[in-house]
Amino acid sequence: MEKFELHILGCGSALPTTRHFATSQVVNMRDKLFMIDCGEGAQMQLRRSKLKFSRLNHIFISHLHGDHCFGLPGLISTFGLLGRTAELHIHSPKGLEELLAPMLAFFCKTLKYQVIFHEFETKQPTLVYEDRSLTVTTIPLKHRIPCCGFLFSEKQGPNHIIRDQIDYYQVPVYELNRIKNGCDYTTPEGEVIANNVLTYPAAPPRRYAYCSDTIYRKQIVPQISGVDLLFHEATFAESELARAQETCHSTARQAAQIALDADVKQLVIGHFSARYEDEQVLLEEAKAVFEPTILAHENLCISL
């Protein structure tokens, strides 16, 4: 099975602590790296996770709060120091280019690569990236400012050839791509060999959903239904529900309820408030509703 990994670089919330870095993650899809949010220290954590800077070409920013994007200027500058020449694409809600342009013009005058900004709307799901193996679609969230999560969806792969059957029916090499893509094979004598005799299906495509920052929002359930892995913010425990509602964040119990309603396979919670020196209380609260829940922590790697 092809590589599809989630690397947690930081899982803290806005107030810095010695326990957690600000929010940032990397999805490794077949050795292509996609960063989600870029809080302070993201480039240091990228090093610690032993991920290659050169394989990161797309960054997705959920919203324009500092703990999700203050790491960008340093990362862009470091790419320049490393001699990068490949384009860097940054996808975000409207306003990021306007904010970063003066800083880049002052500190990054000699970049030998181009930083390209792509703005997206946050009110409805939007396809923001696609290649041969992956699509990335926004997940509309509700926060104090425009905010979106991201759904990473692997595309269905071609069928796998059954070599013994191919040899038995003496199928020519030039027919193999057609057969992998679902076509039957007709022998020189006119006999039709059904595709399911010659192939077996590829593994079901995998999906990862990222939802941070947001108030409890059940409207996202249909879009993330059945995903292999869900990251959902759990900034507070249920005892701080009023504070969660005031700041447009979720509790651990609410994150678990979303996972339960969406029938996801696994939940990882993060974006922890600095008030919790031990996040075990959040884990226990979530697991009481949705048992397959784990805590995010720096340099955690989850394979889908």
Structure confidence by residue, pLDDT tens digits, 165-181: 998 889 998 989 999 98
CATH 3.60.15.10: does it fit domain 4-157+202-303?
yes
Q: Is the pTM of this model over 0.85?
A: yes
pLDDT single digits (tens) 258-287: 999 999 999 999 999 999 999 999 999 999
Give, in order, the Cα–Cα distances in Å from 206 to each of 23, 171, 203, 240, 264. Answer: 23, 31, 9, 34, 12
> Which residues are annotated as catalytic?
67
CA separation for the pair 285, 154 (Å, rounded): 31
Helix (H) or strand (E) holding 168: helix 163-168
Q: Cβ(29)–Cβ(152) under 8 Å?
A: yes
What per-residue confidence (pLDDT) applies to 224? Answer: 98
Evaluate the CA torsion angle 120, 126, 130, 136 in order and state its sign. positive
- Give the pLDDT confidence score for residue 1 in this predicted structure: 75
Nearest-angstrom CA–CA distance, 34 and 230? 16
The answer for residues whose C-beta is within 8 angstroms of residue 123's C-beta and 6 or more apart is: 140
Question: Mean pLDDT across the stretch 291-295?
Answer: 98
The predicted-structure confidence for 106-163, as pLDDT tens digits, reads as follows 988 889 999 999 999 999 999 999 999 999 999 999 999 999 999 999 999 889 999 9
Task: Name the token pair of 80.
Answer: 């320049």
Cβ atoms 261, 220 nearer than 8 A: no
What residue ranges do the domains of the chain occupy? Answer: 4-157+202-303, 160-200
Question: Residue 120: which of 98, 95, 142 has the closest Cα?
Answer: 95
> For 248, left (φ over 0), alpha (ψ -120 to 50), or beta?
left
* Residue 245 DSSP SS3: helix
Task: Give the three-class secondary structure for 129.
Answer: strand
